Structure 1
């Protein structure tokens, strides 16, 4: 496996991030270019990218909030970002297919968890599909059951990692 570097996002990463998202999520669930532009500007400190051999292969991003659960408006509006919020929310953990099952997502998540700790957050929240619940539990997340989020018309599960 190639050496993986995790770094903060740069504005010039926008096109590659948008392309990766389109590969990783169905159209109804994928964030669009303008949403990513706003996220990069609003919370670059919690938007991390993974590179291998100088090529971006994945990313994780999310905002700070005081909410204990992700609600749909968080995905769509950076105005929901509360810089001093007690929790970090994960909006997406994306890795291109050629680099999956090689620990890249795990490295991104570990860096995100460390970012949350370094910034004094109480917990990290996310939503995921049922098939991914055990994956997130492996990091210490607790499954809180079916989410009220209906983002993209899918059923999601609320997960919380208390730090």
Structure 2
């Protein structure tokens, strides 16, 4: 049975292994970036575990509401989570071990971070993805906002947003 837990600093090697299985070298985060995320985003860095084995993860900062979409600088800078309620939950990465794909783990990770975001009165969740992943996020309630301004890894990324309940918002 898969459990969603907080990330542990000892998870770094498993995180890097899964990251490299799911992303090419230009797209993948570095060991230093993931170490910083473990240290600074611990409350929004969740792990999917099959017994003691890490099989997936999701991570991203909580930022001020003025940031509607995830931006390239958020991958490079050591972003601190916004402490107080409000703001927006960004997702830098969601990744699942290829041997565990197709079992709903990615959707479970999205649901877990959404639950946290609702509890902390976040306005919406935002991420970018490649075109072939848009249907997965749409199935999970995200709305495609079109091509992102991102130049990350020389790819064409799409902005995806999920509005959260009990918050006044507009996608305009």
| TM-score bucket of the superposed structures, by smaller chain | over 0.9
Which position in structure 1 is the counterpart of 2:169? Answer: none
Which position in structure 1 is the counterpart of 2:69? Answer: 69
1:80: Cα distance to partner? 6.1
Choose from 49, 52, 63 the match for 1:51.
Answer: 49
Summarize the alignment of residues 1-163 of structure 1 with structure 2, pairs less than 5 Å apart.
Answer: 3-66=1-64, 67-79=67-79, 81-84=81-84, 86-163=87-164
Instruction: Give structure 1 regions of 4+ aligned residues with deviation exceeding 3 angstroms.
Output: 79-85
Which position in structure 1 is the counterpart of 2:167? Answer: none
2:116 is paired with a residue whose SS is helix
Aligned residues of 1:73 and 1:80 also touching (Cα < 8 A): no
1:53: Cα distance to partner? 2.5
Pairwise CA RMSD:
1.2
- CA distance in structure 2 between the aligned counterparts of 1:146 and 1:116, rounded to whole angstroms: 24
1:120: Cα distance to partner? 1.2
Q: Alpha carbons of 1:80 and 1:55: their partners in 2 closer, same or farther (altered >3 Å)?
A: closer
Count matched residues: 161
Gaps of 5+ in 1: none
- CA distance in structure 2 between the aligned counterparts of 1:83 and 1:42, rounded to whole angstroms: 11
Aligned residues of 1:95 and 1:104 also touching (Cα < 8 A): yes
TM-score of the pair, normalised by structure 1: 0.94
TM-score of the pair, normalised by structure 2: 0.90
